[in-house]
Amino acid sequence: MSELTTVARPYAKAAFDFAVESQAVSNWNDMLFFASEVAKNSDIVTFLSGSHSPDATSDLFIKVCGEQLNENGQNFVKVLAENGRLIALPAVAEMFAELKAEYENEIEVEITSAIEMTSAQETALSSSLEKRLARKIKLNCSVDNSVVGGMLIKAGDTVIDATIRGKLDRLSHVLQS
């Protein structure tokens, strides 16, 4: 996996720089997401691992993507195919999305709570986290009964464990030491 990451990084950076320059970051994000989903298809993976010419590979890939790719997106796919890197497209799309979030000063926050949060609670939590992290927040909320109560917040490298399960585990650890 780390090899794909290493291979994908320069392509993601080049695509992102071009997207910023042409003021089409969201459009490029959508194109790369769609193309990465195509690249994950088992039939396409089998085709990509075969010994086909770069032109045949890029032509088929572009036909499968159809109108989802503009001319620049098609050229990007051709470059990837010429270098035998279409298999790395999912990693390229993931890195591009990370660059986009950083560029837009946005962070994805994972919230795990014992019960489902209301929209008012989500809004209040989102605005509070925006102030604390000084970034736009995109919440991904999930419910896990094992946390017992409270919530677990993960934002990048920051983890805030305000769960009852976490407090009980810490208390147990202190009592055992």
Q: Are residues 96 and 130 in the same domain?
A: no
CA neighbor of 70 nearest in space, from 18, 123, 117: 18
Q: List C-alpha distances in Å: 113 to 52, 71, 130, 140, 164.
A: 49, 44, 19, 11, 10
What does the mean pLDDT of the chain come to? 87
Name the residue range of residue 24's domain. Answer: 2-102
Write down the H helix ranges in the chain.
2-21, 25-40, 42-48, 54-65, 71-82, 89-103, 119-133, 164-176
pLDDT in tens, 86-145: 888 899 999 999 898 888 888 888 999 988 989 999 999 889 888 888 888 888 999 998
Q: Are residues 54 and 22 in the same domain?
A: yes
Q: Are residues 11 and 59 in the same domain?
A: yes
Q: Are residues 90 and 126 in the same domain?
A: no
pLDDT at 33: 92
